[in-house]
Amino acid sequence: MTHYICTGECHGESKTSGVCQADDCSKRGLPLLSCDCEDWHHDEIYEKELREKNDDDSLNFSEENER
């Protein structure tokens, strides 16, 4: 069943789409991500988020070294 999660510090979960509403989360106000996992561990979403962050960090590092 599709559910929605926040990949910020709050690790919020919802049955409906929306935005993170946790006051103490760095992703407050950002859209929740759609997840179709059946075990409610959200591994695929968290791994994708980590890969994208690592790609961004690598790109930023490369750009800084070119200067």
Confidence of residue 60 (pLDDT cuts 50, 70, 90): low
Determine how many CB atoms are found less than 10 A away from the CB of residue 45.
Answer: 17
**pLDDT score of 15:** 94
**pLDDT score of 44:** 79
Whether residue 24 is predicted with pLDDT greater than 90 in this model: the reply is yes
Contacts of 3 (CB under 8 A, 6+ apart): 13, 14, 15, 34, 35, 40
The three-class DSSP label of residue 53 is: helix
Residue 62 burial by Cβ neighbours in a 10 Å radius (0-12, 13-18, 19+):
exposed
Q: Looking at residues 21-40, what average pLDDT do you find?
A: 91
Predicted TM-score (pTM) of the model is 0.67
Task: Decide: 48 and 56 in contact? Cβ < 8 Å.
Answer: no
Confidence of residue 67 (pLDDT cuts 50, 70, 90): low
